[in-house]
Amino acid sequence: MLSKRGRGAASLLWGSNLGDRPANLASAREAIRAAAGPILNTSAVYRTEAWGKTDQPEFLNQVVEVETDLDPEALLETLMDIERQMGRERSERWAPRTIDLDILYYGQDVVQTARLMLPHPGIPDRRFTLVPLAEIAPDFVHPQYGKTNQQLLRACYDLLTVREYF
């Protein structure tokens, strides 16, 4: 997957727990195609319990691989623009949202800036990320931990429910 494509291939996680969640994911897909590049691979959509702030509706989450000419910082800015256009309001950490777009991996790049950390630091701790990620890229090796996504999933201590939606 990403290791074969190198620079320009990114794994993204998107999720929604407000409004018409399937329509929100479809809108995000189209917006990302138009603004960032073609989607090469997609996981199933999963129903997941909220993580962090648990007293809110469950999420629909999906991981996709996108091929992009945008560098990581430009990709982040593009995703944040899409979130704003889709009505995302950043009122509090882990609040309910129409759409949440995260960069998980950008090839094998390791990025540490004030705005962006890649790979996403939450990958090893979040089953809602690892289940769909291991579905589409089970053998991709995390560039910092030296473990595959499948190995990270097996070691994940998060017990929140993740069920296939469609």
pLDDT at residue 35 in the model: 96
What is the crossing angle of helices 72-85 and 21-35, to 10°? Answer: 140
| Cα 46 from Cα 129, distance rounded (Å) | 10
pLDDT digits (tens, 9 = 90+) for 125-166: 999 999 999 999 999 999 999 999 999 999 999 989 999 997
| Cα 5 from Cα 151, distance rounded (Å) | 22
Q: Which residue has the tokens 């648990």?
A: 54
According to DSSP, residue 94 is labeled T
Residue 113 three-state SS: coil
47 or 54: which leads in pLDDT: 47
Portion of the chain with pLDDT greater than 90, in percent: 79
| Cα 75 from Cα 139, distance rounded (Å) | 24
Residues with catalytic function: 88, 97, 100, 102
| 105-139 core/surface letters (b: 16 or more CB in 10 A; e: else) | bbbbbeeeeeeeebbbebbbebbbbbbbbbbbbee
pLDDT digits (tens, 9 = 90+) for 73-105: 999 999 999 999 988 676 666 667 789 999 999
| Cα 73 from Cα 66, distance rounded (Å) | 15
φ, ψ (nearest 5 deg) of residue 130: -70, -35
This prediction has a pTM of 0.90
Residue 118 three-state SS: strand
**Residue 3 tokens, joined:** 């290791």
7 or 70: which leads in pLDDT: 70
| Cα 20 from Cα 98, distance rounded (Å) | 8
